[in-house]
Amino acid sequence: MMAMKFLLDAFDEFGPKSAFDEALRFCLIELLDAHRTEDLHRLVTADGDSFGVAGDPDWFIDRIDKANSDKREGWPAEAEFHASVNPGEFWMSHPDFFASRDVFLTYVEAIAVPYIERRPEDKEVMREVLDALRTRR
């Protein structure tokens, strides 16, 4: 799916396209370009130790309970989210990105405003996503 330009523009202030965070940007753009706000909502609110969403071309965002992050090999202790893009499907210099809840919130906030402006019918679910990221610890 070709990402809507406004979604790409939402991250302009985050730096160059080859930045270390490109996997997370790519995954969020793909998720919202497909209007998968309910999946984003489940990602941040689902009960249990972990949850994830995925899509084509072979990308995913996983969430793990911070208390269990040390149980996954290679998962930094402070991270709750992991975005990954299969470099065989879509080349990027940094195909993996781990984020704390606060960092993940920063990216979702950046993309939420322009998304809601163009899809006001998703305003409530996006508000719930942001509220969950701000309050759940």
pLDDT digits (tens, 9 = 90+) for 110-128: 899 889 988 999 999 999 9
Low-confidence ranges of the chain (pLDDT < 50): 1-2, 16
How far are the Cα atoms of 8, 106, 115 from residue 121, in angstroms, in the given order?
21, 22, 10
Q: Is residue 60 part of a domain?
A: yes
> What pLDDT is attached to residue 127?
94
Q: Is residue 49 part of a domain?
A: yes
> What pLDDT is attached to residue 10?
77
Q: Is residue 102 part of a domain?
A: yes
Q: Is residue 27 part of a domain?
A: no
> What pLDDT is attached to residue 18?
57
> What pLDDT is attached to residue 62?
94
Query: Which two structure tokens, joined as six digits, stand for 136?
Result: 């759940």
The number of domains in the chain is 1
Q: Is residue 16 part of a domain?
A: no
Identify the domain containing residue 39 by its residue range. 35-135
Q: Is residue 24 part of a domain?
A: no
Q: Is residue 41 part of a domain?
A: yes
